[in-house]
Amino acid sequence: MKIDIYRFKLGTFECIAVSDGTFAYPDHSFFVNAPKERLEQVLRRHGMQPGDITTPWTCLFVNTGQDRILVDTGGGPGAALFVPSVGKLLPNLQTEGIAPGDIDMVVLTHGHPDHIGGNTSAEGEPAFPNARYIMWKDEWEFWTSQPDLGQLEVEEEIKQTMLMVARSNLPPIQARLDLVEGEKEISPGIHAIAAPGHTPGHMALLISSGGERLLCISDAVLHPIHLEHPDWYPAFDLLREQAMATRRQLMDRAAAQKALVLGFHFPFPGLGHVIQKGKGWQWQPIETKA
Ligand SMILES: [Zn+2]
């Protein structure tokens, strides 16, 4: 199986989970308040070694027949300079015959560097020349004012990177931007869903076609282990209580509707179902053919 491109159908929609590459995060940054020994046990049970967690930076392409939509833009040329393992979104799309000019709509789930870094080219121009860009209004306003990242439990250097990437990747798309203020259908079958907490205006998408549903949760849950341990939180959630409430709401919805779920940092392709289990949920990844 190719590890960075996964095609699937949702009703009549042609979808591709496409990775921008992978990045290794220190395990404690994903589970800040998890007791160390307990975390090590759980990681081993999931077939992982304590230390770093290598996760994909997944994006989603959807061809609805009417619109060709890209959800998030990966790290882009800026990230690729510092992290050689990322910046592969455009070449991966190219492999599938999709050029930047083919994209009609770019949906930005939130303003973190691994989701907006590819908004612009190395020259600072919009990387998708024919696309409208969509973002939640609160999210745009947060990142384009003076964002207060004081509550984030990450190093100062990471906060500075977040601010710098927002400064270089948001203003250039302003002339092509449509802001979403409340839950609405942004293209036939594609609903923007409020999912705040990870960031103030973090957005999820409910995608429906032919009676099938996909709940694209982006970073509302960063790793399947958060489903089993809903009280373990990552360092990257700015508004922790709100993020936990959002996780509960989205996962209850996904379990009740038996929707397919896509988490952008879950093991690639990040697609699966959730079922209620104990205090949380169990992740059931889809079977991918070799
Ligand atoms: Zn992310």
Segment 179-232, tens digit of pLDDT: 999 999 999 999 999 999 999 999 999 999 999 999 999 999 999 999 999 999
Q: Find the mean pLDDT for residues 114-127.
A: 96
Does residue 124 register a pLDDT over 80? Answer: yes
Tell me, in angstroms, the distance from the centre of ligand 1 to residue 266's CA.
10
Token pair 């691994």 is found at: 114
Tell me, in angstroms, the distance from the centre of ligand 1 to residue 218's CA.
7
Residues whose beta carbons lie less than 5 angstroms from ion ligand 1: 114, 219
Long-range contacts of 188-195 (CB under 8 A, 24+ apart): 188/64, 188/66, 189/11, 189/13, 189/64, 190/62, 190/64, 190/67, 190/69, 190/107, 192/107, 192/134, 192/136, 193/250, 194/136, 195/220, 195/246, 195/250
pLDDT of residue 251: 97
Tell me, in angstroms, the distance from the centre of ligand 1 to residue 182's CA.
22
- Are 269 and 58 within 8 A, CB to CB? yes
Does residue 82 register a pLDDT over 80? Answer: yes
Does residue 2 register a pLDDT over 90? Answer: no
3 or 271: which carries more pLDDT confidence?
Answer: 271
Tell me, in angstroms, the distance from the centre of ligand 1 to residue 262's CA.
13
Read off the pLDDT of residues 33-76 as tens digits, 9 standing for 90 and up.
Answer: 999 999 999 999 999 999 999 999 999 999 999 999 999 999 99
pLDDT of residue 64: 98
Name the burial class of residue 183, with classes exposed (0-12), middle (13-18) and buried (19+) by CB atoms within 10 angstroms of its CB.
middle
pLDDT of residue 78: 87
Pairing between β-strand 132-136 and β-strand 184-187 as defined by DSSP bridges: unpaired
Does residue 290 register a pLDDT over 70? Answer: no
Read off the pLDDT of residues 240-269 as tens digits, 9 standing for 90 and up.
Answer: 999 999 999 999 999 999 999 999 999 999
Q: How far apart are CA 102 and CA 98, in angstroms?
A: 6
Tell me, in angstroms, the distance from the centre of ligand 1 to residue 221's CA.
10
Neighbour tally for 122: CB within 10 Å: 11
Tell me, in angstroms, the distance from the centre of ligand 1 to residue 36's CA.
23
pLDDT of residue 83: 87
Q: How many CA atoms lie within 13 A of 257 on its CB side?
A: 17
Q: How far apart are CA 251 and CA 94, in angstroms?
A: 33
Tell me, in angstroms, the distance from the centre of ligand 1 to residue 31's CA.
15
Tell me, in angstroms, the distance from the centre of ligand 1 to residue 223's CA.
11
pLDDT of residue 179: 98
* Percent of the chain topping pLDDT 70: 99
Tell me, in angstroms, the distance from the centre of ligand 1 to residue 198's CA.
9
Give the single-character DSSP code of 21: E
Does residue 176 register a pLDDT over 50? Answer: yes
pTM: 0.97
Does residue 289 register a pLDDT over 90? Answer: no
Q: Which amino acid appears at position 62 of this protein?
A: V
Tell me, in angstroms, the distance from the centre of ligand 1 to residue 264's CA.
7
Tell me, in angstroms, the distance from the centre of ligand 1 to residue 204's CA.
13
Tell me, in angstroms, the distance from the centre of ligand 1 to residue 238's CA.
13
Helix, strand or coil, per DSSP, at residue 243: helix
289 or 255: which carries more pLDDT confidence?
Answer: 255
Token pair 């307990």 is found at: 38
Tell me, in angstroms, the distance from the centre of ligand 1 to residue 270's CA.
13
CA dihedral 245, 251, 256, 260 (to 10 degrees): 150
pLDDT of residue 1: 47
Q: How far apart are CA 69 and CA 222, in angstroms?
A: 23
Tell me, in angstroms, the distance from the centre of ligand 1 to residue 219's CA.
6
